[in-house]
């Protein structure tokens, strides 16, 4: 298994979305807790000026993935098999968008001893910057999208997730090389 850190393309180069002002309490809960019982579709404004290019993954906020209807169709099967992941529908002037609320947090998967990272100040155990990620492979079996407690705002995806994006010409990701390999 290969693991990549999920990143959208440069915010200056691709479309980005803005959170609606009327829902700040709900927005704060994204990526932290289930919202399916309180969700009402948001209308997201997309920033497209300045030569920004179309994106199937408009940047919204850390800890969640926003995707186009085209991307959702490509990932629907994978997402339906993932634990603790919600698909929250939104609208935009350019069509439907979907926030993937990732609640799949795998405790104990981050190998602190073999990773190279700088912790945040205050000794709270969170990662400020990581130069090298290492994971406990026995904790990651079949996990295609996940987070871990020491880096809750970061999203990690499998090589299968990346292959779907590449095979379907989905635009707007900046995945680069894998950050970790189980082999």
Per-residue pLDDT of 80-133, as tens digits, reads: 988 789 999 999 999 999 999 999 999 999 999 999 998 887 767 788 889 999
Task: Say if 29 falls within a structural domain.
Answer: yes
Other Cβ atoms within 10 Å of 97 Cβ, number: 27
In terms of residue numbers, what domain contains 41?
A: 2-107+136-176
- Model-level pTM? 0.90
Q: What would the pLDDT profile of 11-21 be if each residue is shown by its tens digit?
A: 567 778 887 77
Task: Say if 59 falls within a structural domain.
Answer: yes
Task: Say if 169 falls within a structural domain.
Answer: yes
Task: Say if 58 falls within a structural domain.
Answer: yes
Q: Does the pLDDT at position 140 exceed 60?
A: yes
Task: Say if 114 falls within a structural domain.
Answer: no
Q: Are 60 and 66 in contact (CB under 8 A)?
A: yes
Domain count, the chain: 1
More confident residue, 83 or 155: 155
């Amino acid at each position: 298994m290969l693991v990549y850190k999920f990143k959208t393309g440069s915010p200056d180069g691709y479309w980005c979305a803005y959170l609606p002002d009327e829902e700040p309490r709900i927005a704060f809960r994204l990526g932290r807790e289930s919202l399916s019982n309180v969700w009402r579709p948001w209308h997201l404004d997309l920033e497209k000026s300045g030569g920004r290019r179309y994106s199937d993954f408009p940047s919204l906020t850390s800890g969640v993935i926003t995707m186009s209807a085209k991307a959702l169709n490509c990932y629907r099967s994978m997402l339906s098999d993932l634990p603790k992941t919600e698909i929250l529908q939104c609208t935009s002037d350019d069509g439907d968008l979907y926030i993937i609320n990732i609640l799949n947090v795998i405790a104990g998967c981050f190998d602190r001893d073999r990773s190279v990272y700088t912790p945040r100040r205050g000794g709270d155990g969170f990662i400020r910057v990581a130069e090298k990620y290492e994971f406990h492979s026995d904790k990651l079996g079949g996990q295609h999208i996940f987070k871990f407690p020491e880096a809750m705002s970061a999203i990690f995806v499998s090589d299968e997730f990346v292959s779907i994006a590449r095979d379907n010409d989905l635009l707007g990701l900046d995945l680069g090389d894998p950050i970790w390999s189980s082999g």
